[in-house]
Amino acid sequence: MTKHTTKSALLKEAITQHRLFESTMLSLSPEQLEMPGVTGEWSVKDLLLHLTAWEQNLVAWYKAGRSGEMPDMACVNSRQGMNDFNRRIFEQNRHHSLADALALFASSYQQTLVLVETLPEEEIFTPRHFAWTGKWLLADFISANMGNHYKWARDQIKKWINTKSMSSL
């Protein structure tokens, strides 16, 4: 995980990784985007909905924390909690069409990007500014749910493409 020390660097990484992810994703046909097996049983469409859910978690956590509430962080407190949450995301969203997944992903990305752009630098980089972040900076959550997550998803797609012959995709 890259450690950023300025909001501009954090945003640049998120935007760059998002563009790279989209470029890789959009090189595939609609049929390929819905093929299972990219990571486990997930398709690229499922990855889009996964990324969207985590971005929306970030937005919800921030809003709750800003209101003085303690958001539910069970999905990041353990590997099992994260696995359970990821499974729920998949099960709850698998009915979405590809068009819905693309629209939800685009909308969520814009919402999350605007949120980060408007955050004061001190909220992002001050240790324990929010109780819910614990020992982590808000910057760590932003990076994990945006730039690093887009890179992970892109790597999953590239690995999947490389394990298939292009004719079978």
Q: How far apart are CA 64 and CA 49, in angstroms?
A: 22
For residue 62, give both structure tokens: 């921030």
Averaged pLDDT of the chain: 93
pLDDT bin (cut points 50, 70, 90) of residue 167 is: very low
Q: Is the pLDDT of residue 7 over 90?
A: yes
CA distances from 67 to 35, 54, 105, 112, 141 (A): 41, 20, 26, 18, 18
The predicted structure's pLDDT at residue 166: 47
The predicted structure's pLDDT at residue 158: 96
Q: Is the pLDDT of residue 23 over 70?
A: yes
pLDDT bin (cut points 50, 70, 90) of residue 2 is: low
Give the number of C-alpha atoms closer than 13 A to the C-alpha of residue 155, restricted to the C-beta side.
7
- The domain 7-163: what is its CATH number? 1.20.120.450
pTM of the model: 0.93
| Chain segment 106-159, per-residue pLDDT in tens | 999 999 999 999 999 999 999 999 999 999 999 999 999 999 999 999 999 999
